[in-house]
Amino acid sequence: MILLCRPDDLAEGQSRGFTVDDLKILLVRRQGRVHAYVNSCPHRGIPLDWVPNQFLDHSGSLIQCATHGALFLIESGECVTGPCVGEALDPVAIREDAHGIWLDDDA
């Protein structure tokens, strides 16, 4: 397991990006649970954030692609509006415990 951050470094309703080797990851905490995806839009294969750690729409309830505005459900990564409707973000295996949010070594 690879430590991404401490649990309190990702507050409720916040998102953060990480790079481990060549893998770009985004984390979002929603309703106490951390959701992790590859930071790559299924439409163009480009990073979702416009500035570091900014992955959510203005309401904070959806992940948004900065390039073309596609919106993704936080819980499943499914695209619900935009050019990639019906596609989804690739999930990343993580684990959270009292000491950190951890990336699965096989990710």
Task: Give residue for tokens 């951050």.
Answer: 5
63, exposed or middle or buried, with CB in 10 Å at 0-12, 13-18, 19+? buried
Name which residue leads in pLDDT, 51 or 105. Answer: 51
pLDDT of residue 45: 83
Q: Which domains does the chain have, with CATH numbers?
A: 2-103 (2.102.10.10)
Greater confidence (43 vs 77) lies with 77
Confidence band, pLDDT 50/70/90 cuts, at residue 102: very high
Instruction: With CA atoms as reference, report the closest residue to 12 among 40, 33, 38.
Output: 33
pTM of the model: 0.93
Centroid of chain to Cα 97 = 18
Task: Quote the pLDDT of residue 78.
Answer: 97
